[in-house]
Amino acid sequence: MALKKGISPLIAAVLLIAFTMTIAGILATWATTFSKERLSTSAIEGQCLGAIDLASLNFQDSAITAKIRNVAQSVNLTGLKASVEYTDTTKNKEYVLKNYGVPDPLEPSSTAFITINTAESAKPLSIDVVSSNCPRNSAILYFR
């Protein structure tokens, strides 16, 4: 008869504890990194909230005029784009605002005026201005 031996209960307990602690360490590292990334994203998005103010919107003779302000206190708005939407969606178009005299970046408390010749006689429905560094916080204004 052959003697069969397994590992002792003490060694098994030590191995289980070591395995559990290793998994806990990996999860703690991941959770810390994940939390820091989410908090930094939330802080930036919080600063962007309501940063773009769009006013004095007008459409006349195929030209859109508007006033854009950066009302944020510490965020430079970069890569500003305006999306103009029409009833006929085939006419929708996006405009890069630095090509229309808007500084890039638009610094905090700064104001810029735009005039965009759309080459369309039809009045647009709305204009939506968004910044590349604050993509979730746009300003939308509807034409009357």
Mean of pLDDT values over 4-16: 84
- Checking if the pLDDT of 41 tops 70, the result is no
The pLDDT, as a whole number, for residue 49 is 78
Q: Please state whether 109 falls in left (phi above 0), alpha (psi between -120 and 50) or beta.
A: left
In the chain, where the domains are located: 8-48, 52-142
The answer to whether 48 and 131 have CB atoms below 8 angstroms apart is yes
Torsion sign across C-alpha atoms 92, 98, 100, 102: positive
Written out in words, the top-level CATH class of the domain with range 52-142 is mainly beta
- Asked if residue 137 has pLDDT above 90, the reply is no
Band of pLDDT at residue 144, cut at 50, 70 and 90: confident
Distances (CA, A) of 106 to 10, 30, 33, 52: 67, 36, 32, 10
Alpha-carbon distance of 84 to 125, in angstroms, equals: 8
Half-sphere exposure for 90 (CA within 13 Å, toward CB): 0
